[in-house]
Amino acid sequence: MAVIERNEYGAVGVNKSVIEKMIIEDLLELSDSLILCNKKGKPIKEKPTPWIDPDQYDAIEVTDKRGEVDVKIYIIARHGSNISKLSDKIFDSIGQTFELLRLDKPSSINVKVRGIMSNELVKRNIEVVRKNG
């Protein structure tokens, strides 16, 4: 749990699952450029429901060790998407989520591209990392 504010009455915190949900909602807005996948690169099927599918939480890992937050995102890029620009959008989106919650930016954000989707899935293992000092 991340602590947002602490005073003499106690502390206000945000659960890790809330942060994950906010990040997934932002990633779903980029669905024209990416497909969420699990660690092994299996695409998570899009379901036209107003709720987040529990399987979509497999596409993200938020870890908090000694006050440093690390975020890992697993995606499949759609054919024609620029991986560098797509990663920058994801990094900026995650940064805005943490700013909205008044949290420090994650110490590192890893975008793991597990494949490229054209007519069929072409496996790849590309990792783009942004470290915030």
Coil vs helix vs strand at 94? helix
> What average pLDDT does the chain have?
87
The pTM (predicted TM-score) of the whole model is 0.86
Pairing of strands 68-78, 34-36: antiparallel
Pairing of strands 121-131, 68-78: unpaired
Stretch 74-103: mean pLDDT:
93
H or E element in which residue 6 lies: strand 2-7
Report the 10 Å Cβ neighbour count for 7.
7
Stretch 34-51: mean pLDDT:
82
Stretch 97-102: mean pLDDT:
87
Counting residues of the chain whose pLDDT is more than 70, the rounded percentage is 90
H or E element in which residue 38 lies: none
Contact 110, 128 (CB under 8 A): yes
How confident is the model at residue 47, as a pLDDT?
A: 65
Stretch 102-121: mean pLDDT:
92
